[in-house]
C-alpha cells in the first residue's frame, strides 16, 4: 500500500510539472501576443484575429493549466506536510504573485477586446520578465529548500 502511495505521489508530481510547463508557456506567450496585437488598428480584421487567438490561449491553456497546477500542488503539499515548512510559505507567496500576474493578464485581454490599449509596448516587454523571475525563485525554493 505504501509503495502504491509513493508511486502515486510521483505520478502526481509529474503531472504537476507538466501543467507548470503549460502554464508558464502561456504566461510567456500572452504579453508577446499583446505587443503584436497592439500593432493592428482597433476594429480591423487583424485586431479580430488577435482577440480570437488571445481568447483561445486564455480558455484552452492558461486558465485550465493554472487550476490544475494549483489543485495538484496543494495535494502534494498536503501529502508531504509542507504547510508547516518555510520553503513552502515562500513558494506559496511567489505562486500567489504569479497568479495575480495571470489575473492582470486576463484583465488586459478583456481591455484589448474592448479596444482599450493602456500599456506601451515597452511596459509590456518589461512585465514579460515577471514569469521568468518568479519561475527561477520557485524552482530554487522547491529544489534547494533553503529554509
Ligand atoms: C500553484 C501552486 C503550487 C503549489 C501549491 C505547489 C506545490 C508543490 C509541492 C508541495 C511540491 C512537492 C515538493 C517535494 O516533493 O519536495 C511541488 C513540486 C514542484 N513544483 Fe510546485 N507548486 C505550485 C506551483 C508551482 C509552479 C508555478 C512552479 C514553477 C514555476 C512549480 C515548480 C515545482 C517543481 C520544479 C517541483 C519539483 C520539486 C522536486 O521534485 O524536487 N510549482 N510543488
- How many helices (H) and strands (E) the chain has is answered by 6, 0
- Nearest-CA residue for atom 16 of ligand 1: 142
Domain count, the chain: 1
Closest ligand 1 atom, residue 139 Cα = 35
Q: Is 91 annotated as a binding residue?
A: yes
What range does the domain containing 15 cover?
2-144
- 3-33 pLDDT, tens digit per residue, is 888 899 999 999 999 999 999 999 999 999 9
Distance 43 CA to ligand 1 centre (A): 42
Closest ligand 1 atom, residue 74 Cα = 5
- 60-102 pLDDT, tens digit per residue, is 999 999 999 999 999 999 999 999 999 999 999 999 999 999 9
Is residue 50 a contact partner of residue 37, using CB atoms and an 8 Å limit? yes
Q: What is the pLDDT of residue 6?
A: 87
- Is residue 1 predicted with pLDDT exceeding 70? no
Q: Which of 61, 46, 105, 28 is nearest to 38 (CA)?
A: 46
Amino acid at each position: 500500500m505504501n509503495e502504491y502511495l509513493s508511486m502515486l505521489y510521483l505520478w502526481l508530481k509529474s503531472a504537476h510539472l507538466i501543467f507548470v510547463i503549460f502554464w508558464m508557456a502561456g504566461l510567456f506567450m500572452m504579453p508577446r501576443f499583446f505587443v503584436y496585437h497592439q500593432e493592428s488598428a482597433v476594429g480591423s480584421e487583424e485586431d479580430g484575429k488577435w482577440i480570437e487567438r488571445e481568447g483561445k490561449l486564455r480558455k484552452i491553456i492558461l486558465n485550465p493549466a493554472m487550476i490544475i497546477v494549483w489543485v495538484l500542488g496543494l495535494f502534494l503539499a498536503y501529502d508531504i506536510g509542507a504547510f508547516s515548512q518555510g520553503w513552502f510559505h515562500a513558494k506559496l507567496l511567489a505562486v500567489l504573485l504569479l497568479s495575480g500576474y495571470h489575473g492582470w493578464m486576463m484583465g488586459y485581454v478583456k481591455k484589448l477586446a474592448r479596444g482599450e490599449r493602456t500599456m506601451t509596448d515597452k511596459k509590456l516587454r518589461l512585465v514579460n520578465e515577471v514569469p521568468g523571475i518568479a519561475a527561477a525563485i520557485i524552482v530554487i525554493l522547491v529544489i534547494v529548500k533553503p529554509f
